[in-house]
Amino acid sequence: MLRVGIGYDVHRLVLGRPLVLGGVAVPHERGLDGHSDADVLVHAVMDALLGAAGMKDIGTYFSPTDPKYAGISSLLLLQEVGDLLISEGWQVVNLDATIVAEAPRLAPHIDEMKQKVAENLGIEAGQVGVKATTTEGLGFSGRGEGIAAYAVALLESVGRG
């Protein structure tokens, strides 16, 4: 059995925070505001994976009010989601994600993002697609107020682990 899930996340850009996307520290004058490292790419991927498995969203598993998740790397949470999927009998077939940001230029960091997401899920980098686009100056992203990400996941049932 195959299942598809979609994920979406958005965070505001603020001064005084590092910009982390796909587990990669991207040089920029502002970073994403959030309880964890606010990695919109990884958050969208996690929600897509959980949705494909028919599970609840990431906030259910990693409460944004729980102090133990304050500042945590979203890659650690992604590992937990991967372990949860395995325990429920799912394996990742592939992921595809798009980051929506007017700046900074993300192309030089895409391969590293793919590698980090894949490593933390125990899959091959070739099973992960990551792209970046702008909104041509339109909307919150176009005005540089925040960054969004969309993700789609395909899972295959392999029986309970």
Structure tokens at 152: 């789609």
What pLDDT score was predicted for residue 54? 97
The angle formed by the CA atoms of residues 134, 98 and 81, to the nearest 5 degrees, is: 145
CATH number at residue 7: 3.30.1330.50
Q: Cα separation of 23 and 6, whole Å?
A: 20
3-47: pLDDT as tens digits? 999 999 999 999 999 999 999 999 999 999 999 999 999 999 999
The residue-averaged pLDDT of 43-58 equals: 98
Q: Cα separation of 90 and 136, whole Å?
A: 38
66-85: pLDDT as tens digits? 999 999 999 999 999 999 99
What pLDDT score was predicted for residue 77? 98
Residue 161 pLDDT > 80:
no
Domain that holds residue 119: 2-157
Q: How many CA atoms lie within 13 A of 3 on its CB side?
A: 19
Beta strand 128-133 with 90-100: parallel, antiparallel or unpaired? parallel
Q: How confident is residue 159, by pLDDT bands cut at 50, 70 and 90?
A: confident
The residue-averaged pLDDT of 133-150 equals: 97
Residues 6+ apart with CB under 8 A from 139: none
Is the CB of residue 90 less than 8 Å from the CB of residue 5?
no
* Amino acid identity, position 147: I
The angle formed by the CA atoms of residues 95, 101 and 104, to the nearest 5 degrees, is: 110
Q: How confident is residue 160, by pLDDT bands cut at 50, 70 and 90?
A: confident
Q: How many domains does the chain have?
A: 1
Predicted TM-score (pTM) of this structure: 0.97
100-120: pLDDT as tens digits? 999 999 999 999 999 999 999
Q: Cα separation of 117 and 44, whole Å?
A: 12
